[in-house]
């Protein structure tokens, strides 16, 4: 999680610092629908490497955006879901989706 000293003065810059990477936005997009397992995310996010997915999930977990649940099964099952803080991003992602749809339509 970012310390107060590490956070930019600008609130928009703080948000971009937390989720500005392309892959993080796409991970959040998926997690808005339901919890996902690691390999499900990897298959769905075409082009993402295992390292980038691992690093992104760990970073978002440290920042309080994603939760990681390990189920005591054999083999172990791990699911990633949005935390309450992550869920609070729903309107931001929805606004980005709406804007993207409008932009795509205007370019046709």
Q: Alpha-carbon distance 43 to 30, whole Å?
A: 12
pLDDT surpasses 90 at 4: no
Reported confidence tier of residue 1, pLDDT bands at 50, 70, 90: low
Q: Alpha-carbon distance 30 to 108, whole Å?
A: 27
**pTM value?**
0.84
**For the chain, percent of residues with pLDDT exceeding 90:** 71
- Dihedral (CA of 1, 29, 85, 42) sign: negative
Give the residue from 81, 78, 86, 83 showing the smallest Cα distance to 38.
78
Task: Specify burial of residue 62 (Cβ count, 10 A radius: 0-12, 13-18, 19+).
Answer: exposed
- Residue 80 is predicted with a pLDDT of 98
Q: What is the pLDDT of residues 43-56, one digit of tens each?
A: 999 999 999 999 99
Q: Which residues pair with 67 in a beta bridge?
A: 81
More confident: 19 or 103? 103
Average pLDDT score over the chain: 91
């Amino acid at each position: 999680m970012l310390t107060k000293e590490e956070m930019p003065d600008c609130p928009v810059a703080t948000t971009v610092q937390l989720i500005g990477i392309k892959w993080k936005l796409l991970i959040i997009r998926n997690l808005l629908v339901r919890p996902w397992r690691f390999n499900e995310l990897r298959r769905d996010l075409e082009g993402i490497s295992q390292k980038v997915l691992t690093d992104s999930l760990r970073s978002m977990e440290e920042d309080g955006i994603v939760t990681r649940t390990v189920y005591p099964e054999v083999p172990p099952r791990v699911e990633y879901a949005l935390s309450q803080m992550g869920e609070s991003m729903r309107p931001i992602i929805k606004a980005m989706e709406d804007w993207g749809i409008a932009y795509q339509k205007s370019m046709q």
